[in-house]
Amino acid sequence: MAARDPGTYLNLRIGESTVRTHYHEMGPAGGAPVVFMQTGGAATSAWMCWYLNLPVFAEAGYRVLAPDNLGFGETQLVSGPAVRAPDFMGAFLDAMGVERAHFIGNSGGSMATTAFAAAHPERVASFITSGGEPRIDTDQARAIAPLLGRTARMDFVREMLSKPQVAFEDLRKATADFFYDPDHPRIHEVTEMRLELMRRPGLQEKEREAAFRQIEGGRQNIDNSVFERITAPTYLIHGRDERFFYAADHWPHLFDAAMKATTVIPACDCTVLAHCGHWPQIEMADRYNRLCLEFLAWVQRGRKPAG
């Protein structure tokens, strides 16, 4: 496992709000900037999501930036009203002195970057998305979306978080749901990182409240008009087999809605990884890194944005 990078902090002023932001930075200062946006989920962080990827991209000569997303890891709103993800991302780029960057997102990070790429296409040089999201709003996916907070997986998470203290074995089981292979050797490492965060004062209570809010909130799909505004070269890298993450009768429709994004985003390629789950950047890290670096090299050699 790569030695943990402690990261650093800055305070972002976003409108009337202040966000204490924790982030990681690696690679040469003059390298092309690549911003990694982390997955969602209880006790996740940028390092947990990208610990097998950040050093590789830095070694390849990129300036790597990976913030803990707002409300995750060690990034927190400390004053003012709630902040939208695109505004947080724009403020982070400004603070880093970055006008335009390549973006890589997983799951919730993919959703946040989709919104940012549509709202601020001039700031996105390319976009790599994984974790089966975002999805277009098909009839089937629209019907399923409100139910995604009431799955067997989420019921277990709520039960786990309602105990006096989260046990390692419970969190390991919850972590394994993000993988195709329930015995993958990285599951233990990721569980340890999540448990370290979970033990911090107040975090279990916050994650429990968030998990119970999902009962009614579910998850969301994205309207086609948002995808159509993404002008950057885009690359979907999705695990085909999220067999523990979603119900068996839901996943084919959700996967179909994710794949159909390739028909709506103007310049979009796609790779589907068999026997891979929700976190391909961890479960198949070597292959994921190669695919991403090849795509970025291709973009930098002169592939032009759509439009």
The SS3 call for residue 109 is: helix
Over residues 200-225, the pLDDT tens digits come to: 999 999 999 999 998 877 677 888 89
The C-alpha angle 62, 65, 70, rounded to 5 degrees, equals 160
Q: Is the pTM of this model over 0.85?
A: yes
Among 168, 188, 18, CA closest to 91: 18
Distance CA 76, CA 172 (A): 25
Domain formed by 8-136+223-300, architecture: 3-Layer(aba) Sandwich (3.40)
Handedness of CA 5, 193, 53, 23 (dihedral sign): negative
Residue 39 in contact with residue 113, Cβ under 8 Å? no
**Diameter of the chain measured on Cα atoms:** 55
Over residues 137-177, the pLDDT tens digits come to: 999 999 998 888 888 999 999 999 999 999 999 999 999 99
pLDDT confidence of residue 195: 98
Distance CA 267, CA 230 (A): 8
Tokens for 235, please give them: 């690359």
Do you find a cis peptide bond into 81, omega within 30 degrees of 0?
Answer: no
Residue ranges per structural domain of the chain: 8-136+223-300
The SS3 call for residue 269 is: strand
